[in-house]
Structure 1
Amino acid sequence: MPTVRTFALPDLGEGLTSAEIVRWLVAVGDHVSVDQPVVEVETAKAVVEVPCPYAGVVTTLAADAGTELPVGAPLITVAVAATQDGEPPAPATGEGSGNVLVGYGTSGHTTTRRRRVTTQPPAAAPAGAAGAPAGAAATPTAPTADTVASVGAVAVISPLVRRLAKEHGVDLRTVTGTGPDGLILRADVQRAIEGTAATAGTSGSEAGVTPLRGGARLAAEKFSRSRREIPDVTVWVDADATELLAAKAASGLPLLALLARMCVAALRKYPQLNSSVVTDAEGRATGVRQHASIGLGFAAQTPQGLVVPVVREAQSLTTEQLAEELARLTQAAREGSLSPADLTGGTFTLNNYGIFGVDGSTPIINHPETSMVGVGRIAPKPWVVPGTTDLAVRQVTQLSFTFDHRVCDGAVAAGFLRMVADAVESPASLLRYV
């Protein structure tokens, strides 16, 4: 007889605790091989394919696309054929093949244990019917005692459904469950949310509600945390970028690479800005950690929204190497193929919002970083030529610098920004085209 094995959503690393199912790559009844990608999930960092460590026949899938699952929650069950002596096959080393795909391994998987419905919400997430026989007609997230949680006298299929209701202000006592014995499913709560939005639209107060999901939701949480915790200050200065554009034309290097080189040079002179704040359990600042290497993040707009890829060890790269890495990461961002490693490890962010035709901004610091440079559009403006009283039309840009006041005072921030501005106005003294 086949043995049914449960594969749980693996540890995603970098403090990530959940992922949203984008699409299934297999269906119930499909045969899968070891390390075959079975599902595409979205985290705050990227959209990735998750490989399964078992070979066999798919018996259940955890949930529909659009469902968010916590790390460790059952993801898929596979009926694995027994060996010739009738014993279940031994799992691969470490309960998985050990191979790595797009930044995630297939080790460290868990199995589920049955539990009864209680008046306290269990910690586990939705699971399929782990004991389903091979070839059985299974449906996504068949509700069992493994999957039911309760809120007082109201039974819901998982803690995720309870959280969804809480986030949208839905009273579960007013929701009619369509699951077995009146069990409230995610779809029931979603209908209640849409009904509330429709009512609000009818009253003229709003047209509808778009839920934040996946990376957008986690980015929103990160922005809120930054605003809550960081006492940020922004300073800015106008700079004559005429010579910078000339250097760009002469070198053939993109503008972003030249700006990146300038920021890296300034961070090496002012290392206290390449840091993060250490806090205690209550969130109180207890120290400042200076980073030995520079993880240069840069804001990139993609069809999926804003992402911040990171150039690692930026201080060790030449301007040309910076250009190559920026181009690689930009292309991957547009294609949606950034790996988790490409989106982590940042210590400083460069934001070229001038490409959108705006002059200035007061951006939100990318927590847990402590500073960010912003570059406005380069536009012709009247400018007094230094050392003269002559007025000329020059290519001028506005540079902004947002910093965490806990890591430095205004003098350090002004010195940093002035160094970047001086490099913009006279790049030949700083840049080396190799």
Structure 2
Amino acid sequence: MAQVLEFKLPDLGEGLTEAEIVRWLVEVGDVVAIDQPVVEVETAKAMVEVPCPYGGVVTARFGEEGAELPVGAPLLTVAVGATEASSVSPEPSAPSASSADEESSGGSGSGSDSGSGNVLVGYGTGAPAARRRRIRPERAGAPAAPAPVSVAEPASVPAAAGGVNGRQGPVAVVSPLVRRLARQHEIDLRRLTGSGPDGLILRADVDSAIRRVSDEVTETAARPAAEPAVAEAPTAVVASTAVASAAAPVTAERIPLRGVRGAVADKLSRSRSEIPDATCWVDADATELMAARAAMNAASGPSGGPKVSVLALLARICTAALARYPELNSTVDTAAREIVRLPGVHLGFAAQTERGLVVPVVRDAHTRNAESIGAEIARLTELARTGKLSPAQLTGGTFTLNNYGVFGVDGSTPIINHPEAAMLGVGRIMPKPWVHDGELAVRQVVQLSLTFDHRVCDGGTAGGFLRYVADCVEQPAVLLRTL
């Protein structure tokens, strides 16, 4: 006799209380194995695949793609221990047995043993996920089980792009930004032909579909109206209709602050409201730093490993500066009215992705050299671009480095990444007139901005930190004293 178990959205850790359904990985009627990922959700920290702790037949799903669910809300129900022909009930409140043939029974188990007990969401026990199979009708002579109950899908909109694929199942979309853009403009992703690898739907495909829909609307509006078959309406009626159309209000677009964008908004608002911050900045001659980087990369040879990036060198300079000025590697316990000096440097760096601004953290950066920091930055950046960063990789930072020079700007006033005490901002490095050795010359100049919590230190300490960073940028040999 099968037992129908309800799987609820588990606690995702890191204080997260809700998640948005990005993509269902199973359908009603599929056979799932223990710890097989069943849904992809987006939290305020990362994109996570949620494994189901039960093995059996999926009998119901709760929530459509794009819906936001709180922790503890039902995700799906699974009939476990289904070995005989019976019916599958779509209602979780009325459990009944479901049937699975010998080919698909491998993912099922007894009601007591079918749960993995795994509560670490986003990570399975390491067992390979079973291939999903549909329930097949019973063999001849046996009563056929009713067809699996499907979950109601949102009504599809007319095709907006060229070919109509009529695809069923998961849509070939990786980026949640692309999904959100399509939802906002009512574009049916199942009817788009992706231009990416293996038919992957890119943002350019959705933008093209939006333009086509707009062109069609414009063309339809420009067509002359058909001659009426009856007498024309009175002039007064026509005039009133024109006035009503002209006076129709244009509604503003409303974009929910949730997911990564919502988390960023909350953290920035909290930083501004709680931290009395101040900013100081300085221009530095980075010519020698750029020459040192070129020499390092040339010495490694064409196959001597990855190149050392400017960001990695700046990160190494920051760890050396924090060793001299530990006040800036701290946090404030407002309840206890205490400044907490932190023993190690977990260096965060700002990374712009399609999901928005995220801050991956290089653990124990104070124990790494420039090459090691650079390799870790490259690894975390790639995970950020693919949306595979775990919540643990986005939290626990003690100091943040923000390179906004990649956007072509010279300076900024960074907002501290709460609950840290400081952030260093770096502008673009570009040729500028500069007085060098008493003469005017063209040098590679960069602006450095430090925003700090005025509770943890005064301007003298912050200025000393920033001046040491600038000295290392201008004379990289200064670092040799700390290596």
Shorter-chain TM-score tier: 0.7 to 0.9
Deviation at 1:202, TM superposition (A): 5.1
**Which residue of structure 1 aligns with residue 12 of structure 2?**
12
One-letter amino acid matched to 1:250: A
Q: Look up the equivalent residue of 1:89 and give its one-letter code.
A: G
In 2, the alpha carbon distance for the partners of 1:104 and 1:224 equals: 35
Aligned partner letter, 1:9? L
Correspondent of 1:233 among 263, 271, 278? 278
| Mapped partners of 1:236, 1:59: distance in 2 | 60
- The Cα shift of 1:22 comes to 0.6
1:90 paired residue number:
112
Would the aligned equivalents of 2:33 and 2:56 in 1 still touch at CA under 8 Å? yes
Matching residue's letter, 1:55 = G
Report the CA distance shift for 1:262/1:5 in structure 2 as closer, same or farther (over 3 A): same
C-alpha displacement of 1:210: 2.1
- Contact kept, 8 Å, 1:59 with 1:78, in 2: the verdict is yes
The percentage of aligned residue pairs carrying the same residue is: 61
Per the TM alignment, residue 211 of structure 1 is displaced from its structure 2 partner at its CA by 2.2
Query: What's the CA shift for 1:341?
Result: 2.1
Does residue 27 of structure 1 match 2:27?
A: yes
1:4-403 equivalent positions in 2, closer than 5 A: 4-81=4-81, 89-91=111-113, 96-98=116-118, 102-103=122-123, 137=149, 139=151, 203=249, 207-252=252-297, 253-280=308-335, 286-385=337-436, 388-403=437-452
Partners of 2:35 and 2:125 within 8 A in 1: no
- Which string of whole-angstrom CA distances, capped at 9 and with x for unpartnered residues, describes residues 115-155 of structure 1? xxxxxxxxxxxxxxxxxx996525369xxxxxxxxxxxxxx
Is the CA contact 2:24–2:39 (under 8 Å) kept in the aligned structure 1?
yes
Shift of 1:306: 1.1
Amino acid at match of 1:60: A
| Equivalent AA in structure 2 for residue 139 of structure 1 | V
Show CA shifts across 1:413-434 (max 9, x none): 1111111111100112316999
More strand as a share of residues: 1
Gaps of 5+ in 2: 85-96, 98-108, 127-144, 154-244, 298-307
**Aligned mates of 1:239, 1:48 — CA distance in 2:** 42
Distance 1:103 1:80, change over 3 A: closer
Contact 1:2 1:79 in 2 (8 A): yes
TM value normalised by structure 2: 0.66
Could you tell me how far apart the structure 1 residues matched to 2:72 and 2:57 are? 21
**AA matched with 1:367:** H
Give yes or no for contact 2:2–2:83 (8 Å, CA) kept in 1: no
Post-superposition CA distance 1:149-182 (Å, at most 9, x none): xxxxxxxxxxxxxxxxxxxxxxxxxxxxxxxxxx
In 2 relative to 1, CA 287–432 (structure 1 residues): closer, same or farther, beyond 3 Å?
Answer: closer
Q: 1:3 to 1:134 in 2, by over 3 A?
A: farther
Show structure 1 runs of 4+ deviating over 4 A.
99-106, 133-136, 431-434
Pair 1:411-2:460 in alignment: yes
Aligned length: 340
Match of 2:190 in 1: none
Task: Give the Cα separation in 1 of the matches to 2:466 and 2:427.
Answer: 14
Q: CA separation in 2, counterparts of 1:243 and 1:393?
A: 13
Residue 44 of structure 1 deviates from its aligned partner by: 1.3
CA distance in structure 2 between the partners assigned to 1:404 and 1:134 by the alignment: 65
Paired residues of 1:34 and 1:54 also in contact (CA < 8 A)? yes
CA RMSD of aligned residues (A): 2.8
Relative to structure 1, is the Cα distance of residues 140 and 226 closer, same or farther in structure 2, using a 3 angstrom cutoff? farther
Q: Which one-letter code corresponds to 2:279 in the other structure?
A: T
Unaligned runs of 5+ in 1: 107-132, 142-198
Larger Rg: 2
Structure 1, 210-219 or 352-361: larger mean CA deviation: 210-219
Measure, in 2, the Cα distance between the counterparts of 1:276 and 1:83: 57
User: Are the aligned partners of 1:7 and 1:76 in contact in 2 as well (CA < 8 Å)?
Assistant: yes
Q: For 1:398 and 1:91, locate their aligned partners in 2 and report how far apart those are by CA, in whole Å.
A: 61
User: For residues 241 and 228 of structure 1, what CA distance do their matches in structure 2 show?
Assistant: 35
Aligned to 1:115: none
1:346-405 CA-partner distances (Å, limit 9, x unpaired): 1111000011110100121111111100001111111112xx432111111100000111
Code of the aligned partner of 2:290: L
